């Protein structure tokens, strides 16, 4: 089924056409910097801008697709089946009043309209490249989230309930000094093992052990201090150089994630775990090595030993990946999927 697909990413709002095979038509891709939409502090203005982009794009391409061609939007937030946005922190901050965007899309575009979570879109994208029957896509960025893909399941991506894949909000540190999650909870996996969590922990570690920190590449090579230490400028480049202090910090934060992944993998019988997200992808092989070590050290089950070696792979999440995932989902709609 041909479709009109959109992706509300971290940097751009993108639109494209996909053909009946679920492939994007490269010449159709359009994008608008998200910063232009977020200039206003009024959430209603942001939503109006998003919808205006979609309306303009649909008007530009409507002659190329039949009137029944659906619209699919990949969205950065939890979605209650079928298309209800539950929160939109990267779009509307902590606003509690959210529009029924799917209904607005149907009215304004005059087409069947669907909204899927962006990690769900990524899982659909990887379903075309990862041959495993069941696998997990995990994003390690400012937060942590995941989705299971199962070829034998009618849904494909298991995201029909709003908390599906929200492992970032599982409690992993019940202590009184546990770090605060962006959702407001304390001791959540995302507060500890995400890129943002690692950065916070690194600053605390630098304050507690100033002599060791001073010997790290974060400090002497990249100029970081306990107050200014940042992932992009200090921790990531130092870790990629093999700096012991930086790798130790990342490893200590990664243990809770390793234990969580082992539980999900063993409970669901998963064959692969695909790692995506800005923090993990920036670290590249260094992150795979750290996560592999923490998995092995966290697992004392002999049957798993042979599987751990090839369990984790780094996902090549290119710029249009979520657009392509939305197109794969649209193709499934045409084949009778829900």
Topology of the domain comprising 129-314: Nucleotidyltransferase; domain 5 (3.30.420)
Domains of the chain, by residue range, sit at 3-125+319-334, 129-314
Query: Is 234 within 8 Å of 254 (Cβ atoms)?
Result: no
- Whether residue 133 has a cis bond before it, omega within 30° of 0: no
Least confident of 62-71, 90-99, 103-112, 197-206: 90-99
Burial, 319: exposed, middle or buried (Cβ in 10 Å; 0-12, 13-18, 19+)?
Answer: middle
φ and ψ of 28, to 5 deg: -90, -10
* pLDDT range class, residue 332, cuts 50, 70, 90: very high
What residues contact residue 76 under an 8 Å CB cut-off, 6+ apart?
8, 9, 10, 88, 90, 91, 117, 118
Check residue 277 and report its DSSP letter: S
pTM over 0.75: yes
pLDDT given for residue 175 in this prediction: 94
**Do 3-125+319-334 and 129-314 share a fold?**
yes
At which residue do the structure tokens 């990946």 appear?
321
Could you tell me the pLDDT band of residue 39, with boundaries at 50, 70 and 90?
A: confident
Specify whether domain 3-125+319-334 bears CATH 3.30.420.40.
yes
């Amino acid at each position: 089924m041909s479709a009109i697909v959109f992706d509300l990413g971290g940097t751009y709002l993108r639109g494209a056409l996909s053909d009946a095979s679920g492939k994007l038509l490269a010449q159709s891709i359009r994008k608008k910097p998200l910063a232009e939409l977020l200039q206003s502090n009024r959430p209603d203005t942001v939503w109006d801008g998003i919808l205006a982009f979609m309306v303009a794009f649909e008007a530009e391409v409507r002659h190329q697709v039949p009137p029944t061609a659906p619209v699919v939007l990949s969205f950065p937030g939890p979605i209650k089946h079928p298309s209800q946005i539950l929160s939109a922190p990267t779009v509307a901050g902590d606003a509690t009043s959210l529009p029924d965007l799917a209904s607005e899309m149907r009215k304004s575009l005059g087409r069947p309209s669907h909204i899927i979570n962006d990690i769900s879109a990524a899982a659909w994208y990887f379903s075309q490249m990862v041959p495993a029957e069941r696998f997990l896509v995990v994003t390690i960025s400012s937060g942590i989230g995941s989705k299971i893909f199962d070829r034998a399941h009618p849904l494909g991506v298991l995201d029909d309930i709003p908390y599906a894949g929200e492992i970032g909000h599982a409690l992993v540190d019940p202590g009184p000094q546990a770090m605060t999650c962006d959702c407001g909870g304390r001791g959540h996996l995302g507060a500890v093992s995400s890129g943002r969590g690692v950065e916070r922990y690194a600053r605390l570690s630098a304050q507690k052990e100033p002599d060791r920190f001073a010997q790290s590449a974060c400090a002497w090579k990249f100029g970081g201090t306990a107050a200014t230490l940042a992932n992009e400028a200090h921790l990531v480049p130092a870790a990629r150089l093999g700096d012991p202090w930086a790798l130790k910090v990342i490893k200590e934060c990664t243990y809770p994630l390793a234990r969580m992944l082992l539980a999900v993998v063993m409970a669901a019988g998963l064959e692969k775990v695909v790692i995506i997200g800005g923090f993990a992808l920036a670290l590249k092989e260094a992150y795979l090595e750290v996560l592999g070590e923490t998995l092995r050290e966290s697992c004392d089950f002999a049957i798993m030993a042979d599987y751990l070696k090839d369990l984790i792979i780094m996902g090549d999440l290119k710029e249009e990946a979520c657009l392509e995932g939305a197109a794969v989902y649209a193709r499934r709609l045409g084949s009778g999927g829900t």
